[in-house]
Amino acid sequence: MTVLWTADELIEATGGRPLGTMPDAVLGISIDTRSLVPGDAFFAIKGDTMDGHDFATAAIKAGARLLVVAEGKLPALGRLSAPMIVVPDVLAALEKTGVAARARAQAKIIAVTGSAGKTSTKEALRHALSAVGKVHASAASFNNHWGVPLTLARMHADCDYAIFEIGMNHEGEIRPLVKLVRPHVAIVTMVGAAHLGHFTSLDDIAKAKAEIFEGVFPGGAALVNRDDERWPLLARLAAEAGVSNVFGFGEDENAVYRLTNVALHADHSLISATIAGREIAARISVPGRHVVQNALAVLGAADLVGADVEKVALALGTLVAEAGRGRRHVLRHPRGPVTLIDESYNANPASMRAAIALLEATPVAGEGRRIAVLGDMLELGSHSAALHSELADVIAATRTDVVLLAGPEMKALAGALPEGTNFEYRSGAEELKPLLIDTVGPGDVVMIKSSKGIGFSRLVEALVNQFPAGAGNAAPS
């Protein structure tokens, strides 16, 4: 492990007051003792339910070299004799450390927002740009008021590329975060009904996403889904934010990063694209039309940061789907293999459509069937019932043979499915589990998708335990 920050640098960045014998340097930054690595500095952030100061002793036990704590909490920390930097506000100190990291960075910085596909695109960028340089990127979906400054503060001075996921539930959340990140390239993957609960329309969502353009580094670029209905609005807002380089990616003929040909296969896609006037062919080793769209954003961003696009395109051939985001398992059912597509990480109308299309594109074997196992899409507010029932048309237009539904919101879809649809509804994931295990048979393709809160990852676990799997990217042949 190499030095991330010297203690002097951290004191200067946070503007804090050192207390005790400072170490020379720290190797990382942590805000959670469960994932703390020896050598880290522990920032005692106060979250919604927990206060990091309550974990100060645990942090030292886990190997934290120094603690960043709030002045007001000092009396409560009692006789703790660890080295500390004392600040008025720990989250503000983390932000300041992030600002210092950004100021010293030589890296090309890319920020990703959108209603779906932020993490998938961020991870595809991490993977592909690793072929051409040292990459730093957000862990998991660390895209909020603590995740973004934490990711910044963790950025080493010598990385070549850094990728930040920026998310939001409300208007006004992206603006302060992107002003910390100051990206050279700001990507909007797509605009759709996610977290709609706090918004009245998709235009309002687009406007909130467009805040990302307000932090673009001078001379930087906006990279926006050209196929999205809200491209004109987003392009206008980017220009209004002072971004003069606004580029589109997609199959639209006006896209600068344009898909010219695509073949979607069960376990990969082949694409041809014009990337800033150059013809690029690529094999993308994760299937799905939405993955192709994310890959175009990757190629566009790679071009905009001056990376070798040919090498980046080649690296798309070794992409691996993230757990819960399209990862495949081949289950060993006693009577023959079953393909399981794990989409249990989250769901909104756009990603539901993408996943149903993925199921449609995946061939069954022999007598096998396509089984869609769908749970509630959360955070859709008053639009929820309508957005759930609308999926009936999506399903009816595909060769989905069996539909298994669970969750209070999915009742609306159960009521809307056309007569003759082979479907079952249960109240929750636990209630659906035995039926799912009974239903699955040899040759089937099963796609499991819901918002995380509904717990459909337990259904994935149940199937994998029942029919011990060989995880992989392949469909049964």
Ligand X SMILES: Nc1ncnc2c1ncn2[C@@H]1O[C@H](COP(=O)(O)OP(=O)(O)OP(=O)(O)O)[C@@H](O)[C@H]1O
Residues contributing to the site for Mg ion (CB under 5 A):
118-119, 141
Residue 256 interacts with, from Mg ion, ligand X, none (CB under 5-8 Å by kind): none
Using CB under 6 A, which of 6, 57, 130, 141 touches ligand X?
141
CA dist., res. 46 & res. 93, Å (int): 12
CB of 20 to ligand X, least distance (A): 38
Q: Which amino acid is at 461?
A: E
**Residue 228 contact, options ligand X, Mg ion, none, Cβ 5-8 Å cut-off depending on partner type:** none
Residue 351 sits in the site that holds ligand X (CB under 6 A): yes
Check binding of 230 to ligand X (CB under 6 A). no
Q: 21-29 long-range CB contacts below 8 Å, 24 or more apart?
A: 21/83, 22/66, 22/83, 23/65, 23/66, 23/83, 26/65, 26/66, 27/1, 27/2, 27/3, 27/65, 28/1, 28/4, 28/154, 29/4, 29/5, 29/94, 29/97, 29/150, 29/153, 29/154
> Shortest distance, CB of residue 70 to ligand X, whole angstroms?
29
- Specify the residue, 189 or 400, whose C-beta has the smaller distance to Mg ion: 189
Nearest to 460 by CA among 261, 324, 316: 324
Span 67-126, contacts to ligand X by CB under 6 A: 114, 116-120
The single residue among 33, 138, 151, 189 that binds ligand X, judged by CB under 6 A, is 189
Q: Shortest gap between Cβ of 269 and ligand X (angstroms)?
A: 13
For ligand X, which stretch binds (CB under 6 A), given 94-102, 257-265, 303-311, 343-351? 343-351
Total number of residues that touch ligand X (CB under 6 A): 23
Phi, psi dihedral angles at 345 (to 5 degrees): -70, -45
325 contributes a contact to ligand X by CB under 6 A: yes
Residue 285, interface with ligand X (CB under 6 A)? no
CB 69 within 8 A of CB 91: no
449 burial level (CB within 10 Å; 0-12, 13-18, 19+): buried
Nearer to ligand X, 141 or 466 (CB): 141
User: Using only C-alpha atoms, what is the Rg of the chain?
Assistant: 24
Instruction: Supply the angle between the helices 7-14 and 90-104 in degrees, to the nearest 10.
Output: 110
The CA angle 303-305-306, to the nearest 5 degrees, is 65
Q: Of 19-78, which residues contact ligand X (CB under 6 A)? A: none
Residue placing its CB nearer to Mg ion in the complex, 119 or 294:
119
Among 33, 97, 293, 450, binds ligand X (CB under 6 A): 293
Among residues 128, 104, 154, 106, the alpha carbon closest in space to that of 2 is found at 154
Contact residue for ligand X among 70, 355, 412, 445 (CB under 6 A): 355
- Applying CB under 6 A, does 199 fall inside the site for ligand X? no
Asked whether 128 and 298 are in contact (CB, 8 A), the reply is yes
Least separation in angstroms between residue 143's CB and Mg ion is: 6
- The correct pick among 28, 248, 300, 326 for binding ligand X (CB under 6 A) is 326
Stretch that binds ligand X, among 180-188, 288-296, 301-309, 463-471 (CB under 6 A): 288-296
Question: Minimal distance in Å, beta carbon 290 to ligand X?
Answer: 4
Q: What is the C-alpha separation between 292 and 271, in angstroms, rounded? A: 8
Least distance from C-beta 75 to ligand X, angstroms? Answer: 38
The closest alpha carbon to 331, from 442, 457, 433, belongs to 442
Which amino acid makes up residue 4? L
What are the residues binding ligand X (CB under 6 A)? Answer: 114, 116-120, 141, 143, 167, 189-190, 290, 293-294, 325-326, 343, 345-346, 350-351, 354-355
